[in-house]
Structures are given as C-alpha cells and as structure tokens.
Amino acid sequence: MDCNTGAAERLSPSPVDSAATKPGCTVRPSCPSDMEAVQQIYAFHVIHGLASFEEEPPDLHEISRRRTDVLDRGLPYLVGELDGQVAGYSYAAPYRARAAYRFTVENSVYVDHRLTGRGIGRLLLLALIQECAKAECHQMVAVIGDSANTASMALHRQLGFRHVGTLHAVGFKFGRWVDSVLMQRSLATCSQAVPTADKPAASG
C-alpha cells in the first residue's frame, strides 16, 4: 500500500523496530487510504462493545479528521497490516486539553474483531509506546472501558502499565452502568527528568 502521501511521512522512516513485527503482520504509519478500514473496525466496537463510550459510530470524514488532528500534534497514528489488509490501529492523543498535561498522552488500540487473539493488539500498543517515547512524551494513560475487560487490562500490564484507579459507573451503555479503568505507564527513563523540548500535544 502506498504511504508516500500526507502526514504519514511525519513519522521517522523506520517508525517501529523489529519488536513490532512478526510473520504476516507489520505495524506502520497510517495513510489516508487506511481510514475506510479503520472506520469499519471502530464502528464494530462502538456498536457492539464497551471499549468506546461512543454510541454512534463516526463516519469516514470524522475518522479522517481525528487522524489529521493526531498527526498535526506530532503524535503517532499507526496501523497493523496483515496480508495486505488493515487488521487494527493505534494512536496517541492528548490526555487532557489543559497545557500542563502536554507531555501526557492517552492511547487507543483497536483490532478487527475477526482477528483477535493473534497478538496484533500487542504489536500495535508496543509500537505506539516506542513512538511516543521517541517523541519525548512523559506518561501514557490507558482509559479502558468496562472493568470486565480483563484482556485489555492484561495486555497493558504485560507492557508495563499499572492499575491506578477505577471510575465506577461513569458510563451508561447497553442499558447498564459501565466503569472506566485507568492504567498508566512512564515513557521516560527518569520519572523526574526535565523535558528538552516543549511537546504540543495539548495545544491548539
């Protein structure tokens, strides 16, 4: 698939190292042409799952706008490609809009529901962590929908996240109250290190 257009080139030429690939699956920067598949993957999770608290799937235009916003902030938006098709995606967005949060990002990882259990989500999250660390982001927060989502919590734990809290019954979807689980991972080699650059993650 041709990725030589648009903001996808803002990532480094080698956006992920060998740990983010395995036979049949490659993680790479997203392209505008990936967004139709991304929209379909996300729509399924919105309609059928609790990972997202959205209740109506955004259309292709909105998904593309969100991707542009992520890339314009200098943050990564990645896809996992399996046999030439988009099998999942991951991206980082500002954790909060207030300026002092600008070194902290929130991750999102979604995998095609027909392709779960193949390690694609792990590759996407690992690559996202690597890219955000390169961008000098300081902390990554996971906001996991539904405290029963043990698979997502286990994945994050495997990649260095720790549970920092649960917001009980903050969402209402599918006729019931839903928790949000908060997990956090440092991206810095020293937790108190002073940043060398001013990241614009919360600007604009």
Mean pLDDT confidence for 36-48: 98
Tell which residue, 49, 129, 62, has the closest CA to residue 91: 129
Q: Which domains are delineated in the chain?
A: 13-138 (3.40.630.30)
pLDDT of residue 179: 98
Mean pLDDT confidence for 73-90: 96
Of the pLDDT bands very low, low, confident and very high (cuts 50, 70, 90), residue 14 is very low
Q: Is 102 left (phi over 0), alpha (psi -120 to 50) or beta?
A: alpha
Q: What is the pLDDT of residues 105-139, one digit of tens each?
A: 999 999 999 999 999 999 999 999 999 999 989 99
Of the pLDDT bands very low, low, confident and very high (cuts 50, 70, 90), residue 194 is confident
Per residue, the 3-state secondary structure of 36-89, as one string, reads HHHHHHHHHHHHHCCCCCCCCCCCHHHHHHHHHHHHHCCCCEEEEEECCEEEEE
